[in-house]
């Protein structure tokens, strides 16, 4: 008798959010982006919608580890399809290089709206961490991706609920019903 059965594996599971691991992550953006500000208090994120900074420095923790500044920064949130595990998820971006590349692509006459093509985002665990974004030539969204999106219940409004990230969301459909379709 052994401690674990022979074929035991650790489930990868998803909490409903894209987490960039070292290497490539292929995504399809399925909704328009919502913009806002993300703050961290007691090691938990909270977000407020809007272009202008709307979180006061005294509402958040100080980043004692790296910047020694208040933990507040702009973010973009959207719904995406993650090809790595074939799931519809939230993508919250705070990485300025990724944001700038997406904005450049969206404004480009050659590429246009990033909801019209897949993206490969590569993370390199260097010091500092580096990200690159590569667009994949446009093609019609697959039936598999469309069906997954139609079946999901993600709602971008839930990004702005203060306790959303602290919930156990292994069943990511539990985080709320989406109110509007994308693409």
**Domains of the chain, earliest start first:** 23-155 (3.90.198.10)
Distance CA 13, CA 169 (A): 10
Q: Within 10 Å of residue 175's Cβ, how many Cβ atoms? A: 22
Which one has a higher pLDDT value, 8 or 176? 8
Q: 178 and 156 in contact (C-beta within 8 Å)?
A: yes
Task: Locate 3 and state its tokens.
Answer: 């401690």
* pLDDT at residue 164, rounded to an integer: 45
Task: Name the helix (H) or strand (E) containing 135.
Answer: strand 130-135
With CA atoms as reference, report the closest residue to 82 among 133, 27, 37, 3.
Answer: 27
Distance CA 2, CA 4 (A): 6
SS3 28: strand
pLDDT in tens, 14-48: 679 999 999 999 999 999 999 999 999 998 999 99
Which one has a higher pLDDT value, 168 or 36? 36
DSSP string, 140-161: PPPHHHHHHHHH----GGGGGS
Distance CA 65, CA 124 (A): 21
Least reliable range by pLDDT among 63-77, 108-122, 166-180: 166-180
* pLDDT at residue 104, rounded to an integer: 97
pTM: 0.80
Task: Locate 130 and state its tokens.
Answer: 């580096």
């Amino acid at each position: 008798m052994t401690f674990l059965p022979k074929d035991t594996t650790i489930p990868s599971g998803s909490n409903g959010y894209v987490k960039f691991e070292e290497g490539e992550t292929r995504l399809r953006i399925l909704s328009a982006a919502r913009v806002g500000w993300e703050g961290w208090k007691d090691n938990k994120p909270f977000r407020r919608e809007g272009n202008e900074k709307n979180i006061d420095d005294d509402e958040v923790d100080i980043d004692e580890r790296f910047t020694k500044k208040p933990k507040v920064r702009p973010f973009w949130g959207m719904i995406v399809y993650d090809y790595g595990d074939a799931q519809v998820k939230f993508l919250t971006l705070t990485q300025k290089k990724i944001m700038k590349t997406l904005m450049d692509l969206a404004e480009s006459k050659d590429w246009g709206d990033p909801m019209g093509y897949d993206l490969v985002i590569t993370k390199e665990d260097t010091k500092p961490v580096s990200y690159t974004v590569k667009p994949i030539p446009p093609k019609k969204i697959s039936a598999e991706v469309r069906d997954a999106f139609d079946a999901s219940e993600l709602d971008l409004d839930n990004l702005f609920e203060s306790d959303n990230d602290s919930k156990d969301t292994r069943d990511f459909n539990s985080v709320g019903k989406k109110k509007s379709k994308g693409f």
